[in-house]
């Protein structure tokens, strides 16, 4: 896309953190914005603050893990603003434990939000973008889509590997076919947000782990986020640049992400085992 002014953006997980910063940045570009989130109160507050200066902002309570909610989000966007151009499949959660302590419903929750939420977003919005003749999809992955070995993070990492594979396949297919729709993969490293408290949104029956390894890693993440976390407005600037220049990879911490890929290549070439990973930005 070469022009954002007057166009319409949809951002899932838009009530907090990276999603909120994306919405703010799109408004600064002169776009109309729909934010979707599962947290109703946070969503209402975000709509009020994003729209305080007269921007056109609409909130739609959405659980991205449900296809019917994402379809309703698309209908609400078209009803309100008459089109949709940029779709950020950004909502995400994290929960985990040492491998054998991870209940199946934790795997299901994390995969349903992080992977199926992105899949529903792509399947629902892509036909609208193609029909319209221009558009861009931004899927949020993570450094964990390239780096394994952070203790208790297996479900999250698996879900983000899947988002990476889905997005790369989609990008290649659309480019090869000459479609007018771009795809970017947002790969954040440690960024200031509420992600370390993602279990606030867990469905009934999903129990957070009390294992000491789990508490240790979450403590490390909270402190790294506070001390070294990137301001999400920087991430949002990078996303806008990637949309305007049709770039696939958006790496907020390139050294760390590329370093993880190189470490895997080294392991593949030499047979040396992979190492345990610390949270991004941890000392
Ligand atoms: N913050 C980081 O360091 C970091 C690093 C890598 C990747 N990410 C990814 O960035 C994305 C945004 O997360 P964030 O860091 O801003 O965290 P955040 O918790 O501040 O924001 C996530 C938002 O998603 C919403 N959400 C959760 N479940 C949902 C559902 N089922 N349907 C709709 N909305 C739902 C939450 O209510 C919240 O508003 C996520 O995909 C996350 O995995 C974040």
Task: Pick the atom of ligand 1 nearest to 144's CA.
Answer: 6
Query: CB of 230 closer than 6 A to ligand 1?
Result: no
User: How large a percentage of the chain has pLDDT more than 90?
Assistant: 96
Among candidate residues 43, 156, 164, 218, the one labeled active-site is: 156
Query: CB of 93 closer than 6 A to ligand 1?
Result: yes
Q: Within a 10 A sphere around the Cβ of 32, how many other Cβ atoms?
A: 22
Query: CB of 220 closer than 6 A to ligand 1?
Result: no
Q: What is the DSSP letter of 230?
A: B
User: Is 70 exceeded by the pLDDT of residue 199?
Assistant: yes
| Mean predicted confidence (pLDDT) in 156-177 | 98
Could you give the count of Cα atoms lying within 13 Å of 172 in the half-sphere of its Cβ? 5
Domains, in order of start, for the chain: 8-270 (3.40.50.720)
Q: Is 20 a catalytic residue?
A: no
* Strands ordered across the beta sheet of 249-251: 57-61, 32-37, 8-12, 86-89, 135-140, 181-187, 249-251
Q: Where are the alpha helices (DSSP H) in 116-153?
A: 117-132
pLDDT of residue 283: 62
| Mean predicted confidence (pLDDT) in 186-211 | 97
pLDDT of residue 247: 98
| Mean predicted confidence (pLDDT) in 130-140 | 97
233: β partners: none
What's the chain's Rg over C-alpha atoms? 18
* CA-angle at 265, arms to 158 and 235, nearest 5°: 55
pLDDT of residue 149: 92
* Nearest CA owner, ligand 1 atom 43: 92
Query: CB of 95 closer than 6 A to ligand 1?
Result: no
């Amino acid at each position: 896309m070469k022009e954002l002014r007057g166009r319409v953006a949809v951002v899932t997980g838009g009530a907090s953190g990276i999603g909120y910063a994306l919405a703010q940045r799109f408004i600064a570009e002169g776009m109309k914005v729909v934010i979707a989130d599962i947290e109703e109160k946070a969503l209402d507050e975000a709509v009020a603050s994003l729209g305080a200066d007269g921007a056109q902002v609409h909130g739609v309570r959405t659980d991205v893990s449900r296809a019917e909610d994402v379809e309703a989000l698309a209908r609400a966007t078209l009803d309100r603003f008459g089109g949709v151009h940029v779709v950020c499949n950004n909502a995400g959660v994290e929960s985990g434990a040492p491998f054998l302590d991870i209940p199946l419903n934790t795997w299901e929750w994390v995969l349903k939000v992080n992977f199926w939420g992105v899949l529903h977003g792509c399947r629902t919005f892509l036909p609208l973008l193609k029909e319209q003749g221009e558009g861009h999809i931004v899927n949020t992955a993570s450094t964990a889509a390239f780096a394994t070995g952070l203790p208790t993070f297996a479900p999250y990492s698996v879900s983000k590997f899947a988002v990476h594979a889905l997005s790369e396949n989609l990008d290649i297919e659309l480019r090869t076919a000459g479609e007018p729709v771009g795809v970017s993969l947002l790969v954040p490293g440690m960024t200031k947000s509420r992600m370390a408290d993602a279990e606030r949104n867990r469905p009934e029956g999903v129990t957070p782990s009390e294992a000491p390894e789990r508490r240790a890693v979450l403590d490390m993440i909270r402190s790294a986020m506070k001390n070294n976390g990137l301001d999400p407005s920087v991430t949002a600037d990078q996303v806008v640049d990637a949309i305007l220049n049709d770039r696939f990879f958006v790496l907020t911490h390139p050294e760390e992400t590329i370093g993880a890929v190189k470490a895997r290549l080294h392991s593949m070439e030499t047979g040396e085992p992979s190492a345990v990973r610390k949270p991004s930005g941890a000392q």
